[in-house]
Amino acid sequence: MILTATFLSAFAGAALILLLPERLAQLAKWIALLAALVGLAFAKTAFLGYDNSPAAPHFQFLTKIPWVPRLGISFSTGADGISVVMLLLTGIIAVAGILFSWNVTHRPRAFFAFYLIIIGGVYGVFQSFDLFLLFVFYEIVIIPKYFLIAAWGSTNREYGAMKLTMYSVAGSALVLLAMIATYAVSGAHSFDLFTLADPSKAHFSPAFQAWTFPVMFTGFAVLAGLWPLHTWAPTGHVAAPTAVSMLLAGVVMKLGSYSALRVAMTLFPQGLDQWRIAIAGLATAGIVFGALVALAQKDLKFTVGYSSIAHMGFVLLGLMTLNLPGLGGSVLQMFSHGIIGGLLFAVVGRMIYDRTHTRDIAELGKMDLAKALPFAALTFTVASVASMGLPGFSGFIAEFTILKGSWNSLPLFLIPAGIGVVITVAFTLRALQRTFYPSGGPSAHAHPFDPITLPEKLGALMLMAATLFVGLFPSALLDPILRSFQSPLMHRLIQEAGK
């Protein structure tokens, strides 16, 4: 019930907001904040309540209610260590996103209702253990994104929204195709992941896996920014309003990588085995390519958008290592990038763009932002340092474990990944210095900007504290994550595919 409460609170919040009369429209953000806080509280309870002792079961908080028994569809939710970490991330990002949307005055009811629907869908995906249910939640996320970007977005918003939606739908189509094939071939008459992943109940021939795996994996990985299917991400991020950029980078991209791991990789370890080098190659290309493109951007938000591609490349590379450090690091990187990416977009979108109405790095450099908005400068500096993977922040330990995993199983990919890390430093410093600490002194006229508001400060501090905490005490997340890879569902991944 703890788990279901996470998305129920989000959906309930959305419903409540839609019922608000016009004159109380400004209450919407308070209801949204309350709903997100309740969701976070439940996610945190699930995270802390997850029993990590060796004797405890791998899957906890299980709920299973038959839904369409004739088709073997059930409402099956639960959590392992990976789920609880992702649920916690969702809770944090949801609250932070609302804090950074405190200034939304244009049709606030619709905005926050759509926002909460996305959050609910994301919560749902991270706890579904029924393939059909997972897909339903996955689809719930897509449609509100379109409206949020098209109606509340900025630059080129219709194009961005449409591109993002079309990519998502195309990915979903691949997933749906693979899902139906899986259901038909398995002969188990069930969408239950535990059943499908059990070789004694559902057998998938290597030939079947060889084509189903890439179809399903690609379908999910589109959302994770798999190179070269990534171009929706920067455009979508840039067009989206701040809170939606934060959601996209923070959790929606993780839906892709999480589902790829949870469904595609778990069900088809033999198919994975055939394709992993190719996918690792694409992941590494994403790291290097994303970093290089970020180096050439003039728009600060595009820089951050492409940095997401590079960071998600690490997630996918980690998944392809198929050993404990790599897989664990990959999930940790999902969490880490969720926080850091969210923070970067919050600074760029809310703290800077909403005040300066430009994202052009050269323009921003003339505004003496370090003096005008010192808190924004501080936050962006911390986020940049974290994004470069410096020790003390979550990114370091995530990248370290991923590289450690690659060392063991994909050593050839280490060199380009290492080069990607160096270029990441280059573009991060470039963006940071040119935007906030430009040389040559401030321009003649100082821009008076509204000071950073309390909700912004709270949101930023929350995200900074999260990345710092994980950087200092990575075991808090890594222990439950790593434990989950030994569960009956996942252990085949390392044993069968890793060989």
Q: Interface with other proteins by CB under 8 A: which residues?
A: 163, 166, 228, 230-232, 234-235, 289, 292-297, 323-325, 328, 385, 390-392, 396-397, 400-401, 403-404, 407-408, 414, 418-419, 421-423, 425-427, 429-430, 433, 437-442, 474-475, 478-479, 482, 485
Min separation Cβ 206 and other proteins, Å: 27
- Secondary structure (3-state) at 64: strand
Min separation Cβ 141 and other proteins, Å: 21
CB closer to other proteins out of 208 and 437: 437
CB closer to other proteins out of 31 and 226: 226
- What is the four-CA torsion angle of 224, 230, 231, 236, rounded to 10 degrees? 10
Surface-to-core class of residue 136, CB atoms within 10 Å of its CB (0-12 exposed, 13-18 middle, 19+ buried):
middle
Min separation Cβ 327 and other proteins, Å: 9
- Report angle CA 225, 145, 386 to the nearest 5 degrees: 50
CB closer to other proteins out of 5 and 388: 388
Q: How many angstroms separate the first and last alpha carbons of the chain?
A: 39
Half-sphere exposure of 285 (CA within 13 A, CB side): 12
Both tokens of residue 125? 């995906």
Pick from 154, 278, 270: nearest CA to 212: 270
CB closer to other proteins out of 187 and 392: 392
CB closer to other proteins out of 210 and 414: 414
Both tokens of residue 281? 């190659």
Distance CA 140, CA 111 (A): 15
Min separation Cβ 431 and other proteins, Å: 11
Distance CA 182, CA 372 (A): 57
CB closer to other proteins out of 189 and 366: 366
Pick from 352, 343, 441, 353: nearest CA to 386: 343
Min separation Cβ 476 and other proteins, Å: 9
Both tokens of residue 24? 């109380």
Q: Residues 184, 166: contact at Cβ < 8 Å?
A: no
CB closer to other proteins out of 246 and 470: 470
CB closer to other proteins out of 40 and 382: 382
Min separation Cβ 481 and other proteins, Å: 10
CB closer to other proteins out of 21 and 440: 440
Pick from 327, 294, 329, 291: nearest CA to 310: 291
130 DSSP β-pair partners: 192
Min separation Cβ 190 and other proteins, Å: 31
> Residue 350 carries which side chain, given as an amino acid letter?
R
Min separation Cβ 469 and other proteins, Å: 13
- What is the four-CA torsion angle of 33, 6, 18, 154, rounded to 10 degrees? 60
CB closer to other proteins out of 181 and 429: 429
Min separation Cβ 338 and other proteins, Å: 20
Min separation Cβ 36 and other proteins, Å: 29
Distance CA 307, CA 295 (A): 9
- Secondary structure (3-state) at 77: strand
Q: Residues 319, 476: contact at Cβ < 8 Å?
A: no
